């Protein structure tokens, strides 16, 4: 080898020097579980559909929701969005407006008539009792898996409490109808006006291979109120059902509603819309402990609903309602004081919740009922093999989304049951907490506020009160998402490595470490905005 | 003074704007050189810098940007120091550009000579960078540097400021901040560490030479850094850029904190990011989320004594320096931060 004067070695590249041997810890890419996904009762992959929305890929984003939840347009209106409560961005400025984006996508699907397809036929038949969100979600997922499904419901229309409980001004019926129709188009057979009284007989008669029960909680709870006189005392569930059926509701004059939950608020707000002179909600709990959601209480008050907290209705004399004052206590419930006052009423509505009509299951051998709810295993199966249950009838949060989550989980387990296998849920990734993020990198961006109908128009009819956000705002809101725990290709790791030990694989392909050279400094982990890299000890 | 540097495109709808290295939602023209798959990797893998070395990072950032700006027609002269030692242990080199090692103190002169030679050969397309550490720049190389400025030689000089002589074991330089521990300014006595009211600001001295372009930049703000290097390469004559490059070894910091420390140095006001043309200040990078200097100091063992109650006066002195910078360079808008 000929080298110039005074040079004894050929020049070589530093690439010969494998600095990877210095390392005691190695960075690895991983997908962590974002808290929004974790909190969604229907198990939606929110981070992923926001990611797609950011790029304007609305149809793909919608399909991503549909993998878990067949009701995006309903969700975007009635879901209490626990995802937003746990959204990491809430600790930076304000939570991402996940629910508003979901509604935008749900409505886009209805406008563009996006449709999902049924799976290849399996020849198995499933009977679903109850066309509420739980039953319909199960039917949808079972159709996607290719099973034949018949859904029976005693009511004239599908939707369960979403139709006969939740008032129109929060849940316009045409959206619900359209999302139900999509499930029917997938081949689910809906048998309305059909009450099932004997589940096993119906199953055998219809030659069904499995059953999913989601009959909800329909029986109004009541407390005994001594009534001297003629003052009507009604039940919230019935009042709301009649509102839906456009039957006389009995809401008139000075309406007093008893209860502190969302149902009480819904009745009071319906009364305002039906032209009642006043609507007063008598609440057992202190204001801050009311079970109703804060935003609903706020909206109700804007519409003129009055609240009287820490009161119990004791008796009714003529049109005078006697209230006993209560005081908060250390224990769970406020305590009576022996001090009374009266208010005037033309009608009292009890809104104290509903019980499950358990006589339907009493005849099925093996099913256990405890504390008024049907007991199921982690596979959603009751004590009777092949009979599964979910929604409000089992111990649960009693929300639309929880019921939908039950429907999905039940469908997966029914599918496994029909195939003679057991369903193993994929192992969950570790949760991303706020301290795993490097929030320096996120642009400051305030949350988009959804338009609201004016109070005047709210008081005079059942028009939907919360407006849609437009496409720009939906995209903007999606882009506020920090993509917790899931790489969004920001190139930071590729950029900040002092050793050029990260390979960029190209759009959509993510990155790869060159472990031959990575010294294990951990800069990529520190500077990854979303916590999608972690250091793990090197085996030495 | 422009309120928003051109390097920071304010794209309201884009998740991270231009704060991250790349952003899949931005147009290609707003992405950084470092975010591209075909960046030149002028300083490649296999070099022997410590884990998390800010100097190694800053050098790739700066030279890749200069390569892009000059269509890869670039020669660099490099003073003795870590950047030279860790990249070129004979016979290996981590540089993928034409590169020459000068002496410790004469990188500016060697750069000037290369520029003169290229001019004589009529190769105006080839551009020259001279670079070195703060010791090689502010101390021993200072005469050559001032001469290069004085003659307005067509060279961009990049100083990698890690605030001491790192390669020989962390001795004090005239860029070492007050209070900092080095091997020659030990934390003993009632004013431990480096003496306050000593040292010099070479960026301000460079401005006093009225050269076409002077800037400071930091490894935490890549878009700003690339913007400044690109701008400098678009100008002929003597140019000076000082990069703030944390040194985990010399500063006693975690290798994984290098970028964070740079960020905090700028956000607390101790290291202002400025631009000047022909002696006039033309731009400052505003502080986005101001922090007290303690947040910056506490990540570095060289300042550990400053945070002890007995030395509260030193902490106050450092905060006073930061406050003075914030005022002098208007680093914070009346209404608040940058956004
Ligand atoms: C006024 C009100 C407002 C609410 N607001 C919200 C809200 O905003 N957000 C939210 O998340 N949740 C809300 N909820 C709760 C939510 O509506 C329920 O948790 C959810 O609808 C339960 O779904 P499900 O499928 O279990 O039962 P349901 O929705 O109750 O559906 C059960 C269905 O089964 C049918 N059925 C019952 N027995 C039989 C039988 N023997 N044969 C055939 N069919 C039968 C019923 O007709 C009904 O259609 C509200 C509830 C009420 C009452
Ligand atoms: C004339 C001369 N004196 C001293 C040295 C020894 N020496 C080599 S590198 C160095 C320190 C370099 O410090 P700096 O320029 O700040 O670069 P850093 O290593 O910190 O990046 C010294 C003193 C030398 N090479 N030449
Ligand atoms: S920032 Fe995005 S990924 Fe993170 S919790 Fe919120 S919605 Fe989910
Ligand atoms: S730093 Fe950016 S590109 Fe790298 S893993 Fe994290 S999100 Fe993905
Ligand atoms: S001593 Fe400092 S400057 Fe030198 S290689 Fe190590 S970290 Fe980099
Ligand atoms: Mg130095």
Question: Are A140 and A188 contacting, i.e. CB atoms less than 8 angstroms apart?
Answer: yes
**In the structure, what pLDDT confidence band is assigned to residue B10 with cuts at 50, 70 and 90?**
very low
What are the residues whose beta carbon lies below 5 Å from ligand 6 (ion)? B 133-134, 162, 166
Centroid of ligand 5 to alpha carbon of B167 (angstroms): 7
* CA-based torsion, B119, B121, B125, B128: positive or negative: negative
Question: Are B155 and B111 contacting, i.e. CB atoms less than 8 angstroms apart?
Answer: yes
B residues 270-289 closer than 8 Å to A (CB): 289
Question: Are A281 and A260 contacting, i.e. CB atoms less than 8 angstroms apart?
Answer: yes
B residues 153-182 closer than 8 Å to A (CB): none
**In the structure, what pLDDT confidence band is assigned to residue A468 with cuts at 50, 70 and 90?**
confident
The predicted structure's pLDDT at residue B30: 78
In angstroms, rounded to a whole number, what is the distance separating the alpha carbons of residues A57 and A136? 27
In angstroms, rounded to a whole number, what is the distance separating the alpha carbons of residues B50 and A309? 66
**In the structure, what pLDDT confidence band is assigned to residue B5 with cuts at 50, 70 and 90?**
very low
Residue B179 CA: distances (Å) to CA of A61, B147, B161, B294, B311: 55, 31, 17, 13, 10
Centroid of ligand 3 to alpha carbon of A88 (angstroms): 6
Pairing state between β A354-355 and A219-220 = antiparallel
The predicted structure's pLDDT at residue B339: 41
The secondary structure of chain B, three-state, reads CCCCCCCCCCCCCCCCCCCCCCCCCCCHHHCCCCCCCCCCCCECCCCCCCCCCHHHHHHHHHHHHHHHHCCCCEEEEECCCHHHHCCCCCCEECECCCEEECCCCCHHHHHHHHHHHHHHCCCCCCEEEEEEEHHHHHHCCHHHHHHHHHHCCCCEEEEEECCCECCCCCECCCCCCCCCCECCECCCCCCCCCCCCCCCCHHHHHHHCCCCEEEEEECCCHHHHHHHHHHHHCCCCCEEEEEECCCHHHHCCCHHHHHHHHHHHHHCCCCCCEEEECCEEEEECCCCCCCCHHHHHCCCHHHHHHHCHHHHHHHHHHHHHHHHHHHHCCCCECCECCC
Question: Are A511 and A28 contacting, i.e. CB atoms less than 8 angstroms apart?
Answer: no
Range B266-284 average pLDDT: 98
The predicted structure's pLDDT at residue A40: 98
Q: Is 3.40.50.970 the CATH number for B23-328?
A: yes
* Ligand number nearest to the C-alpha of A32: 3
Centroid of ligand 5 to alpha carbon of B158 (angstroms): 17
- B62 Rama class: left (phi>0) / alpha (psi -120 to 50) / beta: alpha
Helix axes A98-112, A471-479, angle to 10 degrees: 140
pLDDT tens-place string over residues B134-170: 999 999 999 999 999 999 999 999 999 999 999 999 9
The predicted structure's pLDDT at residue A446: 79
Number of H helices, E strands in chain A: 19, 23
Pairing state between β B274-277 and B213-218 = antiparallel
Q: Has residue A503 got a pLDDT over 90?
A: yes
Range A529-534 average pLDDT: 97
Q: Where do the domains of chain B lie? A: 23-328
- H helices of A186-261, where? 199-205, 236-245
In angstroms, rounded to a whole number, what is the distance separating the alpha carbons of residues B336 and B339? 8
Reading the block at residue B258, the tokens are 């290098």
| Phi/psi at A418 (5° precision) | -70, -25
pLDDT tens-place string over residues B161-208: 999 999 999 999 999 999 999 999 999 999 999 999 999 999 999 999
Reading the block at residue B284, the tokens are 């400052």
The predicted structure's pLDDT at residue B1: 31
Range from A230-239, B11-20, B302-311 carrying the lowest mean pLDDT: B11-20
* CA-based torsion, B309, B313, B316, B321: positive or negative: negative
DSSP class per residue in A270-297: HHHHTT-SEEEEE-SS-GGG-SS-HHHH
In angstroms, rounded to a whole number, what is the distance separating the alpha carbons of residues B162 and A521? 18
Radius of gyration of chain A (CA): 28
In terms of Cα–Cα distance, which of A487, A526, A480, A468 is closest to A87? A480
Question: Are A216 and A392 contacting, i.e. CB atoms less than 8 angstroms apart?
Answer: yes
pLDDT tens-place string over residues A43-93: 999 999 999 999 999 999 999 999 999 999 999 999 999 999 999 999 999
Residues with CB under 6 A from ligand 3: A 34-36, 46-47, 50, 87-89, 96, 98, 481-484
* CA-based torsion, A152, A153, A157, A162: positive or negative: negative
**Nearest protein Cα to ligand 1, atom 30:** A216
The predicted structure's pLDDT at residue B270: 98
B91 vs chain A: nearest CA distance in angstroms?
A: 5
B256 vs chain A: nearest CA distance in angstroms?
A: 4
Mean pLDDT score across all residues of chain A? 95
Question: Are A213 and A374 contacting, i.e. CB atoms less than 8 angstroms apart?
Answer: yes
Question: What b/e string do you get for B168-188 counting C-beta neighbours within 10 Å, with b at 16 or more?
Answer: eebbbbbbbbbbbbbeebebe
B82 lines ligand 2 (CB under 6 A): yes
In angstroms, rounded to a whole number, what is the distance separating the alpha carbons of residues A467 and A310? 34
Kindly provide the ipTM of the predicted complex, given to two decimals. 0.94
Q: CB count, 10 Å around CB of A463? A: 12
Query: Which neighbouring-strand residues pair with A348?
Result: A233, A256
Reading the block at residue B79, the tokens are 């003073």
Question: What b/e string do you get for B275-297 counting C-beta neighbours within 10 Å, with b at 16 or more?
Answer: bbbeeebebbbbbbebbebeebb
Residue among B21, B92, B94 whose CB faces A495 most closely: B21
Reading the block at residue B49, the tokens are 């810098």
Of residues B17 and B118, more confidence is placed in: B118
Find the angle CA(A117)-CA(A118)-CA(A119) to the nearest 5 degrees: 120
Q: Could you identify the residue written with the tokens 């093999």? A: A385
* pTM for this predicted structure: 0.92
Task: Classify burial at B248, counting beta carbons within 10 Å of its beta carbon; exposed 0-12, middle 13-18, buried 19 or more.
Answer: buried
In angstroms, rounded to a whole number, what is the distance separating the alpha carbons of residues A419 and A87? 38
The predicted structure's pLDDT at residue A473: 87
In angstroms, rounded to a whole number, what is the distance separating the alpha carbons of residues B31 and B327? 32
pLDDT tens-place string over residues A300-347: 999 999 999 999 999 999 999 999 999 998 887 899 999 999 999 999
B295 vs chain A: nearest CA distance in angstroms?
A: 15
Residue of A nearest to B58 (CA): A498
Residue of A nearest to B288 (CA): A440
| Phi/psi at A173 (5° precision) | -65, -30
Q: Which residues contact B4 (CB under 8 A, 6 or more apart)?
A: B10, B338
pLDDT tens-place string over residues A167-199: 999 999 999 999 999 999 999 999 999 999 999
Q: Has residue B277 got a pLDDT over 60?
A: yes
In angstroms, rounded to a whole number, what is the distance separating the alpha carbons of residues B218 and B264? 10
Q: Has residue A144 got a pLDDT over 70?
A: yes
The ligand 4 atom at the shortest distance from the C-alpha of residue A491 is 3
- Interface with chain B: mutation pick from A498, A504, A507, A538, highest number of B CBs within 10 Å: A498
In angstroms, rounded to a whole number, what is the distance separating the alpha carbons of residues B286 and A160? 57
Residue B33 CA: distances (Å) to CA of B22, B61, B69: 9, 8, 10
| Phi/psi at A518 (5° precision) | -60, 125
Residue among A18, A54, A494 whose CB faces B21 most closely: A494
Put simply, the answer to whether B22 touches A444 (Cβ < 8 Å) is no
**Nearest protein Cα to ligand 5, atom 5:** B49
Reading the block at residue A364, the tokens are 């099925």
Q: Has residue A207 got a pLDDT over 50?
A: yes
B residues 13-52 closer than 8 Å to A (CB): 13-17, 19-25, 31-32, 34-35, 37, 41, 43-49, 51-52
In terms of Cα–Cα distance, which of A262, A258, A317, A226 is closest to A79? A262
Residue A16 CA: distances (Å) to CA of A19, A517, A540, B89, B105: 9, 10, 22, 12, 30
pLDDT tens-place string over residues A96-108: 999 999 999 999 9
Q: Is B291 near chain A, with CB under 8 Å?
A: no
The predicted structure's pLDDT at residue A239: 97
Residue among A479, A497, A507 whose CB faces B15 most closely: A479
Q: Could you identify the residue written with the tokens 């208010």? A: A343
Report the residue among A150, A160, A406 best suited for mutation to probe ligand 1: largest number of ligand atoms under 8 A from its CB: A160
Range A215-239 average pLDDT: 95
């Amino acid at each position: 080898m000929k080298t110039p004067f005074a040079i004894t070695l050929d020049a070589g590249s530093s690439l010969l020097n494998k600095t990877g041997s210095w390392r005691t810890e190695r960075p690895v890419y991983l997908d962590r579980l974002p808290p929004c996904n974790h909190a969604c009762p229907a198990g939606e992959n929110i981070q992923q559909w926001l990611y797609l929305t950011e790029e304007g890929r609305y149809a793909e984003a919608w399909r991503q929701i549909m993998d878990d939840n067949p009701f995006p347009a309903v969700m975007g209106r009635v879901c209490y969005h626990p995802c937003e409560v746990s959204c990491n961005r809430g600790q930076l400025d304000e939570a991402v407006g996940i629910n508003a984006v979901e509604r935008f996508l749900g409505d886009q699907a209805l406008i563009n008539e996006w449709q999902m397809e049924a799976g290849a036929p399996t020849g198995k038949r499933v009977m679903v009792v109850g066309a509420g969100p739980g039953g319909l979600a199960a039917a949808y997922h079972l159709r996607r898996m290719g099973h034949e499904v018949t859904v029976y419901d005693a009511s004239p229309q599908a939707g369960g409490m979403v139709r006969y409980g939740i008032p129109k001004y929060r849940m316009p019926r045409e959206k619900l109808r359209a999302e139900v129709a999509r499930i029917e188009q997938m081949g689910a057979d809906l048998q309305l006006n059909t009450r099932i009284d004997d589940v096993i007989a119906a199953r055998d008669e219809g030659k069904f291979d499995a059953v999913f029960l989601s009959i909800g909680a329909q029986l109004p709870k009541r407390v005994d109120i001594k009534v001297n006189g003629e003052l009507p005392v009604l039940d919230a569930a019935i009042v709301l059902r009649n509102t839906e059926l456009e039957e006389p509701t009995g809401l008139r004059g000075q309406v007093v509603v008893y209860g502190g939950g969302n149902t009480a608020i819904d009745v009071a707000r319906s009364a305002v819309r039906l032209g009642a002179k006043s609507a007063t909600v008598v609440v057992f709990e202190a204001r801050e402990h009311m079970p109703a959601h804060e935003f609903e209480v706020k909206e109700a008050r804007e519409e003129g609903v009055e609240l009287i907290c820490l009161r119990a209705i004791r008796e009714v004399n003529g049109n005078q309602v006697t209230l006993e004052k209560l005081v908060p206590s250390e224990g769970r419930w406020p305590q009576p004081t022996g001090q009374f006052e009266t208010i005037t009423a033309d009608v009292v509505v009890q809104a104290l919740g509903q019980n499950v009509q358990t006589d339907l299951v009493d005849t099925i051998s093996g099913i256990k009922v405890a504390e008024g709810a049907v007991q199921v295993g982690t596979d959603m199966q009751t004590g009777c093999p092949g009979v599964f249950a979910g929604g409000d009838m089992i111990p649960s949060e009693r929300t639309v989304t929880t019921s939908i989550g039950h429907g999905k989980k039940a469908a997966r387990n029914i599918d496994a049951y029909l195939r003679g296998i057991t369903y193993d849920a994929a192992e969950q990734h570790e949760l991303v907490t706020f301290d795993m993020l490097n929030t320096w990198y996120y642009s400051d961006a305030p949350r988009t506020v959804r338009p609201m109908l004016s109070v005047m128009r709210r008081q005079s009819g059942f028009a939907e009160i919360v407006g849609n956000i437009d496409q720009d705002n939906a995209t903007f809101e999606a882009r506020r998402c920090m993509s917790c725990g899931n790489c969004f290709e920001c190139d930071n790791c590729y950029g900040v490595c002092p050793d050029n030990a990260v390979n960029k694989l190209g759009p959509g392909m993510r990155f790869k470490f060159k472990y031959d050279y990575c010294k294990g400094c951990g800069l990529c982990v520190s500077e990854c905005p979303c916590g999608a890299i972690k250091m793990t000890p090197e085996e030495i | 003074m422009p309120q928003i540097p051109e390097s920071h495109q304010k794209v309201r709808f884009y998740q991270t704007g231009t704060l991250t290295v790349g952003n899949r939602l931005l147009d290609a023209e707003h992405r950084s050189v470092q975010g591209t798959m075909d960046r030149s990797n002028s300083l490649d893998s296999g070099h022997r810098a410590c884990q998390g070395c800010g100097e190694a990072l800053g050098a790739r950032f700066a030279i890749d940007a200069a390569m892009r700006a000059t269509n890869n027609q670039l020669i660099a002269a490099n003073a003795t120091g870590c950047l030279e030692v860790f990249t070129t242990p004979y016979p290996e080199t981590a540089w993928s550009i034409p590169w020459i090692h000068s002496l410790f103190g004469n990188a500016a002169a060697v750069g000037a000579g290369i520029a003169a030679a290229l001019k004589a050969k009529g190769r105006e397309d080839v551009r020259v960078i001279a670079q070195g550490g703060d010791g090689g720049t502010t101390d021993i190389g200072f005469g050559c540097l001032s001469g290069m400025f004085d003659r307005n030689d067509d060279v961009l000089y990049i100083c990698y400021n890690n605030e001491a002589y790192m390669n020989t074991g962390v001795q004090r330089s005239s860029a070492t901040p007050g209070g900092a521990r080095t091997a020659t300014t030990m934390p003993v006595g009632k004013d431990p560490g480096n003496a306050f009211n000593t040292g010099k600001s070479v960026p301000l001295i460079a401005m006093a030479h009225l050269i076409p372009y002077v800037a400071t930049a930091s490894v935490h703000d890549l878009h700003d850094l690339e913007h400044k290097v690109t701008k400098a390469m678009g100008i002929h004559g003597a140019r000076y850029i000082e990069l703030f490059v944390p040194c985990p070894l010399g500063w006693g910091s975690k290798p994984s904190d290098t970028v964070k420390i740079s960020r905090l140095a700028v956000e607390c006001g101790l290291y202002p990011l400025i631009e000047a043309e022909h002696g006039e200040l033309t731009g400052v990078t505003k502080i986005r989320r101001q922090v007290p200097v303690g947040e910056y100091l506490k990540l570095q063992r060289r300042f550990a004594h400053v945070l002890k109650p007995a030395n509260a006066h030193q902490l106050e002195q450092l905060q006073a320096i930061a406050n003075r910078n914030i005022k002098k360079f208007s680093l914070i808008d009346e209404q608040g931060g940058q956004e």
